[in-house]
Amino acid sequence: MSSQNNISSAIADAQERARALDRDDPLAFTRNEFNIPTKSQIASTRLPDSATTKAGSGSDDGAADKCVYLCGNSLGVQPKRTQTRINQYLSTWATQGVQGHFKPLEESPLPTWLDADEKAAQLIAPIVGASEAEVAVMQTLTANLHLLMSAFYKPDINGKHKIMLESKAFPSDHFAVETQLRHHNLDPATSMITLTSPSSPEDNVLTTAEILAAITEHASSTALLLLPGIQYYTGQLLDIPTITAHAHSHGVFVIWDLAHAVGNAPLALHDWGVDAAAWCSYKYLNAGPGCIGGLFVHERNSAVPPPVEEVAEGEGEGEGEGEDYANRLAGWWGNDKRTRFAMVNRFRPVPGAAGFQLSNPSILDITSLSASLEVFAEAGGVGALRAKSLRLTAFLEGLLVGEGALVGREERALFRVITPRDPAQRGAQLSLKLSGGLLEPVMRELEKRAVIVDERKPDVIRVAPAPLYNTFEDCVLFVVAFAEALAVARKEVAV
């Protein structure tokens, strides 16, 4: 595709196809559940007055007024019902005070605060493919990774003491591993293994075979493997069941960071035999910036032995008890609910993931998360969303680099897709690596065109059509703006 005429007709054709796909989309209705910012809102530098921030307002303007928001991999947009549910929570607190903990209110869709964590666990369990008892809605992602490592990383300096992770892991994961090692008086130089892909040294798209080979090679000294379900930079979806099974066959405990996978790719953590995992809720789960995260602990890793006092009351208090959970860092909210308020200083966890909780959770956070998870349930869950996501991302890919691409030949030479081209090895996101120096002007030009995507310095743009609220037309609008941005940037940087 080279001439301007050809491009113009390809754009018109793509727009027509996109509109037809959107019309036939059985999930089209969920877009209206979200506040997609308008072009004028994202250009504005003022906080709108209260009239424009009422729940749901500003969202029913014509589609043409919306910005093109393809950034759910970073921060999901706000569900309209978030404001409604938060207002209901605020009314409960305002009118009931402490009674909100335990007094159910007629007509309220909200659980009592004492039950809110359990209710949220019920909503998240199907999204990660776990039983309700295997998940806990708690803390934030990095904190949960630390808590899981505190519980399950038991280094033996004469044997298995190393932690393996990718060399280009998200920095927080890298810091968490380094500091866990130091916490155990170990030296990251000798106890940390970072994986680099021999076949893809620049982008570090690790193949499953490369990961399996590294596990085999380091099995005798490796205690724990920390990997992302979906890699944040490349968008690669890893083969969680195969890697988990191989690690287990070598006695390696695996923790998965599911920041980019949760709510994006179908997960079956229980059936895959995953040991433990953690995630955040502000990306594809749309719970809001910094909102409460979650963790999964397979039921085989969270059993609680019977209480000692039932064996011999008073004698050898504490002896033998807690062997299986002694490593974890504990707090009162992880204590068995039946004795939580007995105020006895003898920790006995709730069996399951809930036994890893520390503090009473922020109900503001849980309310926000649960509002979004209601929409997930109405959409039919992650399976239905994945079916749309596969089509959306393939459509976007085709417009960028396929037969009918909307990008001219010269601009096409200025970027490449670093996300695996096999749909089974990626989620919603495509990562576009730009030629040197183009990132800043391309991002500026996209912003001018009311297109929101995110950048990862030095040269990657991440574009994520989220099936809950993005349309096929969004993909066309993005690619048209991207091609224009590249053309401007190319002249400016003279590549």
Ligand X SMILES: Cc1ncc(COP(=O)(O)O)c(C=O)c1O
Extract the annotated binding site for pyridoxal 5'-phosphate.
Answer: 141-142, 170-173, 257, 260, 282, 332, 360
Q: How far apart are CA 163 and CA 182, in angstroms?
A: 12
Residue 191 or residue 429: which is nearer to ligand X going by CB?
429
Quick check: 173 binds ligand X (CB under 6 A)? yes
Quick check: 484 binds ligand X (CB under 6 A)? no
Residue 321 or residue 365: which is nearer to ligand X going by CB?
365
State CA 164 to chain mean position distance: 21
Q: Which of 262, 306, 247, 241 minimizes the C-alpha distance to 76?
A: 262
In the complex, what is the shortest distance from the CB of residue 229 to ligand X, in angstroms, rounded to a whole number? 9
Q: How far apart are CA 177 and CA 411, in angstroms?
A: 41
Q: How far apart are CA 312 and CA 344, in angstroms?
A: 18
- Interacting residues with ligand X between 257 and 286 (CB under 6 A): 257, 259-260, 280
Residue 226 or residue 399: which is nearer to ligand X going by CB?
226
DSSP string, 106-155: TT--SPPGGGHHHHHHHHHHHHHT--GGGEEE-S-HHHHHHHHHHHH---
Quick check: 229 binds ligand X (CB under 6 A)? no
User: Helix, strand, or coil here: 202?
Assistant: coil
- Interacting residues with ligand X between 121 and 140 (CB under 6 A): 140
Q: Count other C-beta atoms under 10 Å from residue 371's C-beta.
A: 26
* Residues that contact ligand X, how many (by CB under 6 A): 13
Per the listing, tokens 């079916």 go with 387
Per the listing, tokens 């796909």 go with 21
Closest residue to ligand X, based on beta-carbon distance? 142
In the complex, what is the shortest distance from the CB of residue 69 to ligand X, in angstroms, rounded to a whole number? 17
Q: Please give the structure tokens belonging to residue 398.
A: 């085709």
Quick check: 149 binds ligand X (CB under 6 A)? no
Instruction: List Cβ neighbours of 303 (8 Å cut-off, separation of 6 or more).
Output: 324, 351
Torsion sign across C-alpha atoms 332, 336, 338, 343:
negative
Residue 140 or residue 471: which is nearer to ligand X going by CB?
140
Quick check: 228 binds ligand X (CB under 6 A)? yes
User: Helix, strand, or coil here: 23?
Assistant: helix
Q: Which stretch binds ligand X (CB under 6 A): 168-176, 204-212, 321-329, 358-366?
A: 168-176
- Interacting residues with ligand X between 85 and 114 (CB under 6 A): none
Among 96, 172, 200, 362, binds ligand X (CB under 6 A): 172
Q: Which stretch binds ligand X (CB under 6 A): 79-87, 122-130, 165-173, 360-368?
A: 165-173
Q: How far apart are CA 442 and CA 436, in angstroms?
A: 11
Residue 75 or residue 394: which is nearer to ligand X going by CB?
75
* Contact assessment for residue 117 and residue 105, using Cβ atoms and an 8 Å cutoff: no
Quick check: 301 binds ligand X (CB under 6 A)? no
In the complex, what is the shortest distance from the CB of residue 237 to ligand X, in angstroms, rounded to a whole number? 13
Burial status of residue 101 (CB atoms within 10 A of its CB: 0-12, 13-18, 19 or more): middle
Q: How far apart are CA 74 and CA 260, in angstroms?
A: 9
Residue 232 or residue 415: which is nearer to ligand X going by CB?
232
Residue 238 or residue 350: which is nearer to ligand X going by CB?
238
Residue 260 or residue 348: which is nearer to ligand X going by CB?
260
Quick check: 142 binds ligand X (CB under 6 A)? yes
User: Helix, strand, or coil here: 215?
Assistant: helix
Among 152, 153, 170, 253, binds ligand X (CB under 6 A): 170
In the complex, what is the shortest distance from the CB of residue 243 to ligand X, in angstroms, rounded to a whole number? 16
Kindly list the residues in this chain that would bind ligand X in the complex (CB under 6 A). 140-142, 170, 172-173, 228, 232, 257, 259-260, 280, 293
